[in-house]
Structure 1
Amino acid sequence: MVTSVVAMQLNDHHKVVTNNHHASITEESSLRSISSEDISQVVPRGYCCAKSINPADGRGRKLHLLQMLILPFIPILALIVQTSLMLRDIMVLKNDSIEIENQVTAATELGKVVTRMQLERSEVAFYLSTGGKKYNRTDRTDLTTRFVLTNEAVGNMSFWPPIALQINGTKTYLDKSTFVKKLIWFRSAISPESESEEAPMADILAWYTSVNAAMLEHLTQQIKETDTSGVWRYLLAFKNLLKSIESTGIASVYGVNYFGQGYLDQDNHISYIQHDSIAKDLLNTSLNYVAKLKQEYKNLSLTMSDYGNIKQKNDIIIKNLKRKSNYTEAQNYFVSIALYIDELRKLQRSLRVTIGDYVNQNLQDAANQEALGITILLVVLAVSPVIIWLVHNAVATIQLYAANLSKKANELKREKQKSDSLLFQMLPPSVATQLKQTRQVPAEYYASVTVYFSDIVGFTEIAAMSTPLEVVTFLNKIYKQFDARIECYDVYKVETIGDSYMVASGLPVPNGNKHVSEIASMALDLLAGSKHFKIPHRKSEKLRIRSGAHTGPVVAGIVGSKMPRYCLFGDTVNTASRMESTGVASKIHISSDMKKALDSIGGYRIEERGLVEVKGKGMMETFWLVCKEGGTQNNVEIETSSFFAEDEDIEPVFIKRLKNKNYF
């Protein structure tokens, strides 16, 4: 039945490949258990402050507390810096808004002056084109009143732009007082009270046009400086609307002249077309910049009664056909254009209100953001100490728990190492590790291992004449010494049953072909030492053991769930057991397979025994393992006699290792 079971096991596991991972697991590493404390204290080689990073340590606790206080302070500091930068940006925005407000105020004042100058130019042009003193004009503002209104606008200006005029071929910069003097001088040439000759119309118009052009140029430069703000579109529309009114006023002068004189010369006709086109382009640009103006201008074209008449008169002037002078038609045209320009100025005033509202809204937003930023900064500064205090208390509590946890973890680690050491005495470390990790441990097939059996000759008689306590003491002492001695070899103790002692090499961690020499050397060592061992309760009798070994394939695996055991199965186990049972006292009986393996390795002296009847195997050729080449049996005995001292209570090597590492 054993043979059939073994054959089935060999067939089932013939294709199982030995896992090379087992080769990396040593007994020493398997005896140690890795805890969280081990991992937390792993530091680079040469790091002298490894203990200081442990929050359970005194110095490490201070460092940990410092780290935990710095960590919440970093976002707080970042929030303070961010809020400070936001306040700086808000202050810049507020200053920009104030600057824009100042520029809008200056542009508005300058626009009023340009508007009054445009109206004054229209009045002067109408006066000159219609005969002035000879024609009754009760429907329009007289020149004297117009001059007063212009002077009022100039006087209300809070600043005076740098106006440069071409006077007598020279570019001259005029301050406010000089400009007023020049303006009065030009008015004197066309004033009804003036005793001098009337100045030529072209010179008068050139004066007004050059002044308005200089002011509009300054306004353009101001708007260019604000093109990074959101108000630039409104300011450009405002400037273009002023220029459109300016060009419309200039064109109207030529229109009045055409109807008053009946014809325009070529230069004046070209100037009319040029200024009329510029006025329309600038007006369209303004309407495109501000959608609100486009709708207002559409309403203007629908509600203004003379809008269609103006377009008709415009077509007549463009044709420039000679006709009779008609002061009444000139006056009607002047009135229509004046009404149209007044409507455009309404658009201008509406746009001025829009700009003011926009700037005021920007100032209000900047003030709100400034108040919000200051509030956030004050809240952060007030809350920061509270947060740091709370973090300090929380870290102190955590460190207290960490210290207690570290202490408990060390205690648990020591207890775990004790239990692991006991477990690794019962099972191979690699197999026990897999069981601890709740893995399935499948049976494995080993192509070549060496199995060793030994028993005590005459044990039945000794047990019959001894008390149970004496038998247990005797077996415990001899097997403790055997267990300690086999630690010097790459072997694994499978089990002891009564006086039978079973050892294997080549599993559970394969070691190539070393298993044969390891078992051979171990068997010689145990045999030599046993000759010097005296039975404790029978001092006159020396211990004699019978040994046997065989090399071949086996299947190994865990058997049982209650007190699981690591067992070997196969014909190799049976043959090794038969080598022991058919051997003789104080000799090592080996099979021909093991003899061949030792011969291939070399270094061992083997003697032939001959054919032996083996139960279940028939006649087998067997051999005696005598000693290692180059040495004698006595030499081995001398070497091992001190190890097997009679009164020495020998501990296994792994127990010494555990004690040296303070595991117990």
Structure 2
Amino acid sequence: MKKEDLTLVRDNDSLRSVSSEDVSSPPGQYCCTKTNPAHGRGRRLHLLQMLVLPFIPICALIVQTAFSLHNIMLYRQEVRGIDAQVTEATNLGKVVTQMQLERSEVAFFVYTNGNKLRSNLTMRFALTNASLEAVSSWPPIYLPESRLAPLDKDTFLTRLGEFRQRISSEESSMTEVLNWYTSVNAALLDHLTNQIKETDSSGVWRYLLAFKNLLRSIESTGIASVYGVNYFGRGWLVSNSYVHYIHHDAVAKDLLNGSLNYVPMLKGVYRQLTNSMSNYGTIKRRGDIIIQNIQRDPNITEAIDYFDSIAHYTDELRKLQRELRHKIRDYVTANLHDAASKEAIGIAILVVVLAVSPVIIWLVQNAVSTIQLYAANLASKAKELKREKRKSDTLLFQMLPLSVAVQLKQTQQVPAEYYASVTVYFSDIVGFTEIAAVSTPLEVVTFLNKIYKLFDARIECYDVYKVETIGDSYMVASGLAVKNGNQHVSEIASMALDLLAASAQFKIPHRKSELLQIRSGAHTGPVVAGIVGSKMPRYCLFGDTVNTASRMESTGEASKIHISLEFKKALDAVGGFKTQHRGLVDVKGKGPMDTYWLTCKEGGVNRTNDAAATKYLPVRNSSKVGAKSRNFQFQDEDSEPIFMRRIRGECYV
């Protein structure tokens, strides 16, 4: 030990700790308040102030969270309303689609003088009825024969059935067919348009407008196709019918372009659909023929071909419509999911705040009460604390390394320090549980006291630090608090062999016929060391190295030193020791580990002294120099520990 350190240890006055006099001012002497917060009315006022302090931000947080949750719930209701509108618009779109298909089939039936080669009207009527049943919100519909009062859903279904029964192939019924279906579809599309206007504040309105325009485009295409079938089936179009064809054909194209502009991603889909249609060019040519309106001979076959081509084209447009419907559904579903997630998070935050708030208030109350109680007792304990100061100083030097203890007393705190490489040793007594079970408590204490005095005396000969003992477990480390390079490996190895040899000759005091057996383990690696606790502080080690060393001990065998692969490699680098390969061992929390037995030093001679010398002290030898040159003298088992002599400066190494 350096001379300066000895001087520092001897100078007790220079090592100032927290004095009890600093906190022993008499009651009533406070600079910040006129009342004593530790007694009576002052204590209640102080407690109230400390409770109000956290209560204000907690209330603000609750109000803010509730307001945010209210907004989130309003947003979710809005999204649900949008979802309902989208569902209703989709159902109305399906009804419009079925009515368009039914109108085309009925018109073909009428314009071809009752030709039934194209489709089955009964099946078409059934599909239309099914789509009508799925509609939950029914718009006001005025039929040509009842303009005065709107029809409800049931009345409309009755009128629709009556209209289907009187369909004929007479010339006089063509206008009736067009007007009847067109008025129904117009009412449905107007209702759909009104619904879309209500969703202007949402991001889905573009998709809905494109959906509505696409429905109207298909509607106008279907109306125009009726006049086209009439042209090819009858040979020419009267002027009024010709004007209607031109109007609906132009409207259909304009609405289709509007839909593609509202949702640009549909342009690519539409281009693919038209490219895949083999008769798309034929449709355009026949449209040009109808626009010329040159009188020709009626041709039912050509009318059927034209009707089929237009039906194919509108079917492709409906594929585009279905694609857009899926896009709308995905968009609304994503919004609903986002709204539900935000609502769940808001509710969770509010519940957590409400649940934690009483706990915080309770903790603050307990903390303040504890502080007040401590303040009340602190003054009365001040003198007693001062008397115990010297005892605590003595205990501190017993529990901590000398350099750490000095630093702790000077700075009142010792920061944790990282050590890249240290060696940790564990040992325990084999069969200690059985020995304790058949022994009295006094016999157990006497037994442990003697063996630990033996171990404590022996480890004084090595550059190691005794960390702690828990029951029959003995923990030693080397390489800290003062780093010693790579010597910690050989120091622990020599010490372990020494303790094993000494324990082999130790007889249990109250069972003289039994010899002591210990199980040892060691591991080398990084650790973090620091002071733990303020009452009776302990210098503790943390890290996986400590756990691994403990596992080496617990998985070892009696009278053997179980070491890890890392410790073995470090020993090989230092040299001078022999090991024996044990193999893979299943270590709890680590899995299979390759481990070894530390057997002896090179040459097979352990570093031990006379087996009977169970107690000895290292003393200064002026004739020899070096860390490995040591002489020993025996001492009585009740003599003072060597570290206390070092503290007083009476012993040198």
TM-score for both structures, normalised by structure 1: 0.48
Larger radius of gyration: 1
TM-score, length of structure 2 as denominator length = 0.49
